[in-house]
Amino acid sequence: MSNKNLQRRRRIRQSIRSKISGTAEKPRLAIYRSLKNIDGQIIDDDKGQTLLGFGTNAKEMADEKGTKSELSFKAGEALAKKASDAGISQVVFDRGGYKYHGRVKAFAEGARKGGLKF
């Protein structure tokens, strides 16, 4: 990724983070997308603590097959299931400077289908 693209994403990410923040009642669902995997973390910004996380590189996803978008959808569903087991039903979505498209959108839709509200 070029330096120009990294700076652009950093600016977008700072703009997003200045507007949203996670609390104990409504934590933040932060997305990180790499070339092969996508990860989601549910974060309580008041305490500065990650409550839980899940991604396509988790042990539970090792035997799953499909495209990266399909795996992202399944990872979103699994994260939502873990969140509901932990008593979390509502989150604030932080796309992390990525466009709401492709794997990021698939992860979000999977989380919604799994029961998270945002």
Give the residue numbers spanning the domain of 110: 3-114
Checking if the pLDDT of 1 tops 90, the result is no
Average pLDDT over residues 11-16: 92
Counting other chains too, the contacts that 19-22 makes at CB distance below 8 Å and 24 or more residues apart are 20/92, 20/94, 21/45, 21/46, 21/92, 22/46, 22/91, 22/92
What pLDDT shows up at residue 103? 97
- Rounded to the nearest integer, the mean pLDDT of the chain is 94
Q: Which pTM value belongs to this model?
A: 0.91
As a whole-number percent, the residues of the chain with pLDDT over 90 amount to 85
- The domain total for the chain is 1
